[in-house]
Amino acid sequence: MPVLDTAALLHWPVEKIAGNLVANSQMTELENLSPERAMLVEALDLRWESPDTKDAEIAAAKTGDLPRLSPVDLDVIAIAINSNEILYTDDYSMQNVCRFLGLEFQPVFNQKSKKQWFWQLKCIGCRATKEIEIEKEETCEICGSPMKVKKARR
Ligand SMILES: [Zn+2]
């Protein structure tokens, strides 16, 4: 049974939603977004979980996606980690963390993102670049100038 993000809960037909894995925190999110939809989804037979998000947070910190992920997003990723089931999401940051962890994911509507985001350091002096996995400051090994963190694609 796949893991569904909130976009799927909002927009998919109910027969496609039933029986899947979701986070308890998504119900609150759904209630805020659409009370009618929340009532409908509540009546479905879903597996509601409240996972430990530690591994999801560590992975998201490594890819640099943590600032763009909500506590609900992290719950959903954590469920995907625990269950090792396909995650349905259109959120690029969530997809990026899945890719980093080797977890399978599918889009809810949009096309799958093809590229992995990474952090890159760029020297403000000589413009040398260096790939890093965790966001951190460094000085350039070539010229000694400070290096600035920027997001890069690979
Ligand atoms: Zn330099």
pLDDT at 115: 61
Domain ranges of the chain: 3-106, 117-153
pLDDT at residue 113 greater than cutoff 60: no
pLDDT band with cut points at 50, 70 and 90 for residue 129: confident
Domain covering 3-106 in this structure, CATH number = 3.40.50.1010
The Å distance, Cα 153 to ligand 1 centre, comes to 21
3-state secondary structure labels for all residues of 120-140: EEEECCCCCEEEECCCCCEEC
Give me ligand 1 centre to Cα 142, in Å: 5
pLDDT score recorded for residue 110 = 63
Distance 149 CA to ligand 1 centre (A): 13
Ligand 1: centre distance to CA 137 (Å): 13
Centre of ligand 1 to C-alpha 16, Å, is: 53
For residue 121, the CA-to-ligand 1 centroid distance in Å is 10
Residue 118, strand partner residues: 152
Mean pLDDT of 65-80: 96
Give the list of residues 6+ apart from residue 67 with CB closer than 8 angstroms, or none. Answer: none
Quick one: tokens of 131? 């790939």
Q: How far apart are CA 26 and CA 73, in angstroms?
A: 9
CA 154 to ligand 1 center in whole angstroms: 22
Question: Ligand 1 center to residue 129 CA distance, Å?
Answer: 8
* Alpha-carbon span 154 to 140, nearest angstrom: 22
Alpha-carbon distance of 129 to 147, in angstroms, equals: 8
| Mean of pLDDT over the chain | 90
